[in-house]
Amino acid sequence: MGVRRMKLNIYQKLHKAACEAGGVAKGKKVPGMHFNPLQHDEVQKVAMEALLNNGLYPVCTYTNYVKESFIMVTCSMKIHDIEDPTSHIDIEGCSAMGNLDKFGTGNGMSYAKKYAFLNALNLKTGLDNDDGYKAKPFNNIPQPSGTEHDDNHDAVAIDHIKNDMKNAKTIYQLRKLKNYKYKDAFTLAIKKHPAVYKDLNNLYETMETQLNTQGVTQ
């Protein structure tokens, strides 16, 4: 009499898939980027192999939110147990932004889906070593001599900008801070104080990753 194999439930299967998946290798740096990019195709390759080997199959649906200058894409991933059609796990709330051009929706979908995979399997990526910067702390953006500044732009304290970014609840709020409210402050830092810009942008990218990876539900 043969040995009867115990049937795993969907949570056991997902746990097994996560243990087998390991980590994702980052891509090489490209001109203009100070970090190694985490490629969508590489994340999907690692995730799909682990899921399929454990009888799991993901299906994604997307919702779009169009604004004046960008599109917000949110991915909802449903992971199905192919041995039990009634059993599934939902990965909700992974979102990304794209430009209002022919590539915008596709870019947003790929980015959001990538973080849904990362959330589902808790894939290792080495995100804590993304940029390699060790920027010195700054209290204020230095002011160029002989110019006047608006209180809401160049003269805004670095700590105030940082606190606003840390308190952002959504990726939309975070990007609105950089692209609208503090746009002039970021522009001034790029032109006159690159070390200050690195400090601000490092925090921005950290918060962007956190907000894009939040929202896993079972």
The per-residue pLDDT for 214 is 64
Range of the domain at 168: 133-218
Q: What is the pLDDT of residues 29-75, one digit of tens each?
A: 555 545 556 678 888 999 999 999 999 999 999 999 888 778 889 99
Q: What single-letter DSSP state applies at residue 128? A: G
Q: What is the pLDDT of residues 126-155, one digit of tens each?
A: 654 443 333 344 344 444 333 344 433 343
Q: How many angstroms separate the CA atoms of 135 and 143, rounded?
A: 19
Residue 2 lies in a domain: no
CB 185 within 8 A of CB 154: yes
The per-residue pLDDT for 13 is 96
Percent over 90 (pLDDT), the chain: 27
Q: Identify whether residues 41 and 85 lie together within a single domain.
A: yes
Residue 3 lies in a domain: no
Residue 4 lies in a domain: no
Q: Identify whether residues 140 and 120 lie together within a single domain.
A: no
Residue 47 lies in a domain: yes
How many other CB atoms are found less than 10 A from the CB of residue 5? 6
Q: What is the pLDDT of residues 64-114, one digit of tens each?
A: 988 877 888 999 999 999 999 899 999 988 888 888 888 889 988 998 999
Among candidate residues 203, 196, 188, the one with its CA nearest the CA of residue 152: 188
pTM value? 0.56
User: How many domains are contained in the chain?
Assistant: 2
Residue 159 lies in a domain: yes
**Residue scoring higher pLDDT (164 or 194):** 164
- Domain boundary at 109, 128, 147, which? 128
